[in-house]
Chains A and B, each alone.
Chain A
């Protein structure tokens, strides 16, 4: 591929010219060899750079860059191959440097290499890079420096090819077996699905025969037993409509946001294989993204779309998001809210009420600031906090007043949620997993558990 050629004196180079000339002239005029000799040396270096430029002006390269993947997960590895061919009849000593964005780290080898290239020799340099951060990373351009003193004079060839690579978040630590996921889904369907009597395949109950009922549904054994016409009643289980609200507001940032995002992806990956519907609403001040997953090839596009979401930084407005769902008539759905207790709590509570009036089941997932914020706060990063006790840091960052306020908010939200028949899940850090938490929650609804609860209540 074509490379561009550049030669430039850096700021240091220009100072070298001026200082060299000054010291030569002053030294000559006052007959001081202490100044003349370094001045001549300055000249020597500058002249050598110019001569070098003139001799390497026609040196031509062929450079190409290839990467092994187009997207990868964080902590994944990527190989980048740079193929250099010397097309001149000169023996060259060069420095090849690969530029890449801060998402990557080079493994076992510096990002630049000093090489010797014989005429018409091809050299294949391979860098193995480690993806350290999530985001849209860039690889390129490639810079080839010819000759010494690059600090003073840049005699370089640049291949201006930039490859963009999507670095997705890390694979989740906990690997939940598919059996558990299936069980969770079944339980959710059992608990939340709306049943419509009459049609469908699933048996619901027996009842007296009424004129107009189909004859084929009459249960003859029951009729014989009771000595009157009894018919079977069927029900239809409709698909569940899952609705995920993802908070992009100022309260959700850094690792907390990343974790909520990956949790949303985890749930969507659980649901997208089934016949249930799913929609994801990412909201900040307003609804910023409304994603409806599709079947087939577009599934992958959805997942990539999800990872493109970035926190907005403004205070989130939950009511706006709920109003959006109301105008779009996404009623009677199972809403899972990924949010926090920070910010304007009133808006959140009003939003919950509105959701309830729309006939939705609400599950509020609180990514607890208490645990995540410590990981993200500047104090924790900057100070030598590694040696401190965890409890000390907790006390330092969260004074008791803040803690009390947080607990007060939690009880308030819980109260409202239980009054509207919703549920509350708390994610306290990387150890908690959203699927396992939901599973735990569904166990609460299991018939045996419910019977025990009822008995205790009596």
Chain B
């Protein structure tokens, strides 16, 4: 450390803004991850198939360890890797064992299976939501400095006192609190939720209609599910097309990070 940096650090303290609930959020995030894995492993135990059980056990342990080693560093990449492992596990269990034994084991009823899967899915969704929320409001907080030294404190105080009669007067601003931020997230999801629900409802009505007109299981297999898949493909295409319509940002705003600054520093000094 150079002397001027040392002088700087004795006067100013680098600080990172963290909300008091951020640690709880990370804890809940990991907890939901563990819950999802536990539910999946429980179901694989009940399926009484050794291949499925070992597959899910290994993948569960890998996911768990990755989560624990990452600690408080939540980001979307980690979430996507978590999802990727789940898809991988599904694929492997499909390959290694009979399809029916994973999803319709003889030892469990259909409702039980759906309950298991839905509860695991909800756990994953909550986990994802938590990490999104975390990214939105906690991890993006950047560093700022707080005056610590006597001179610095005085300097800032005097400066801000002198600003009182100018346009630059610092007035207290009401920042949004955590609950309000949560409310935005949930409110923004309300309309899309309704739209998707309507879509699903139409699909169900359509399939039920077909089911009652021709009450055969094979028809349900060959018509209801394919029609749902077609709807989902259409919806995907719609989303991609919508994205193509919107205007794009041409110039990226260069944001200098802490590391970049160090590089600039070094370049300047070791020319």
| Chain B residues with CB under 8 A of A21 | 232-233, 235-236, 239
Chain A residues 177-218 with CB under 8 Å of chain B are none
Q: Flag whether A46 is at the interface (Cβ < 8 A).
A: yes
User: Number of A-B pairs whose CB atoms are under 8 Å?
Assistant: 250
Q: Flag whether A435 is at the interface (Cβ < 8 A).
A: no
Chain B residues 225-261 with CB under 8 Å of chain A are 225, 228-229, 232-233, 235-236, 239-240, 242-243, 246-249, 253, 255-256, 260-261
B36 to chain A, nearest CB (A): 9
Q: Are B2 and A253 in contact (CB under 8 A)?
A: no
Q: Flag whether B141 is at the interface (Cβ < 8 A).
A: yes
**Chain B: CB-nearest residue to A249:** B271
| Chain B contact residues, majority secondary structure | helix
Docked complex Cα distance between A141 and B253 (Å): 8
B49 to chain A, nearest CB (A): 15
Q: Flag whether A123 is at the interface (Cβ < 8 A).
A: yes
The residue from B86, B145, B170 contacting A105, defined by CB atoms under 8 A apart: B145
Q: Are A47 and B145 in contact (CB under 8 A)?
A: no
| Chain A residues with CB under 8 A of B166 | 68
| Chain A residues with CB under 8 A of B265 | 381
Q: Flag whether A124 is at the interface (Cβ < 8 A).
A: yes
Q: Are A41 and B125 in contact (CB under 8 A)?
A: yes
| Chain B residues with CB under 8 A of A6 | 247-249
Docked complex Cα distance between A108 and B268 (Å): 29
Q: Are A15 and B192 in contact (CB under 8 A)?
A: no
Interface size class of B (residues with CB under 8 A): 35 or more
Quick one: which of B83, B142, B265 has the most chain A CB within 10 A?
Answer: B83
Contact with B along A92-134 (1 / 0, CB 8 A): 0100000101100111111111111000000111101010100
| Chain B residues with CB under 8 A of A377 | 270
Docked complex Cα distance between A49 and B184 (Å): 12
Q: Are B124 and A37 in contact (CB under 8 A)?
A: yes
Q: Are A128 and B170 in contact (CB under 8 A)?
A: yes
Q: Flag whether B121 is at the interface (Cβ < 8 A).
A: yes
**Chain B: CB-nearest residue to A83:** B167
Q: Are B160 and A128 in contact (CB under 8 A)?
A: yes
Q: Are B4 and A38 in contact (CB under 8 A)?
A: no
Q: Flag whether A148 is at the interface (Cβ < 8 A).
A: yes
Q: Are B185 and A19 in contact (CB under 8 A)?
A: no
| Chain A contact residues, majority secondary structure | mixed
A325 to chain B, nearest CB (A): 26
Q: Flag whether B209 is at the interface (Cβ < 8 A).
A: no
Q: Are A44 and B232 in contact (CB under 8 A)?
A: no
Q: Are A32 and B159 in contact (CB under 8 A)?
A: no
Interface size class of A (residues with CB under 8 A): 35 or more
Q: Are B175 and A375 in contact (CB under 8 A)?
A: no
Q: Flag whether B90 is at the interface (Cβ < 8 A).
A: yes
| Chain B residues with CB under 8 A of A111 | 142, 144
Docked complex Cα distance between A377 and B2 (Å): 9
CB-CB under 8 A for A386 and B196, given A14-B243, A77-B159: no
Docked complex Cα distance between A7 and B250 (Å): 11
Q: Are B255 and A99 in contact (CB under 8 A)?
A: yes
Stretch in A22-30, A288-296, A437-445 touching the partner: A22-30
The residue from B155, B180, B229 contacting A29, defined by CB atoms under 8 A apart: B229
Q: Flag whether A48 is at the interface (Cβ < 8 A).
A: yes
B111 to chain A, nearest CB (A): 12
Q: Flag whether B103 is at the interface (Cβ < 8 A).
A: yes
Q: Are A34 and B160 in contact (CB under 8 A)?
A: no
B78 to chain A, nearest CB (A): 12
Contact with B along A138-169 (1 / 0, CB 8 A): 00010100011111101010100000000000
Q: Are B117 and A381 in contact (CB under 8 A)?
A: no
CB-CB under 8 A for A254 and B128, given A8-B249, A21-B236, A110-B144: no
**Chain B: CB-nearest residue to A18:** B236
Q: Flag whether A43 is at the interface (Cβ < 8 A).
A: yes
Q: Are A147 and B87 in contact (CB under 8 A)?
A: no
| Chain A residues with CB under 8 A of B24 | none
A92 to chain B, nearest CB (A): 10
Q: Flag whether B213 is at the interface (Cβ < 8 A).
A: no
The residue from B2, B90, B175 contacting A115, defined by CB atoms under 8 A apart: B175
Contact with A along B1-26 (1 / 0, CB 8 A): 11110101000100001000000000
Docked complex Cα distance between A105 and B166 (Å): 22
Q: Flag whether A279 is at the interface (Cβ < 8 A).
A: no
Given contacts A6-B247, A21-B233, A38-B124, list 10 more A-B pairs with CB under 8 A: A8-B248, A38-B121, A51-B188, A68-B163, A102-B256, A107-B156, A126-B170, A152-B132, A375-B3, A386-B1
26 A-B residue pairs with CB within 8 Å: A6-B247, A7-B246, A25-B232, A38-B83, A38-B121, A38-B125, A43-B235, A47-B239, A51-B188, A68-B166, A79-B159, A79-B163, A81-B167, A81-B168, A107-B147, A108-B147, A113-B175, A114-B176, A115-B176, A128-B170, A130-B145, A149-B188, A253-B268, A376-B2, A380-B1, A381-B265
- Give the interface of A toward B (CB within 8 A): 5-9, 12-15, 17, 19, 21-26, 28-38, 40-41, 43-53, 66, 68, 77, 79-81, 93, 99, 101-102, 105-116, 123-126, 128, 130, 132, 141, 143, 147-152, 154, 156, 158, 250, 253-255, 311, 313, 375-378, 380-381, 385-386, 430
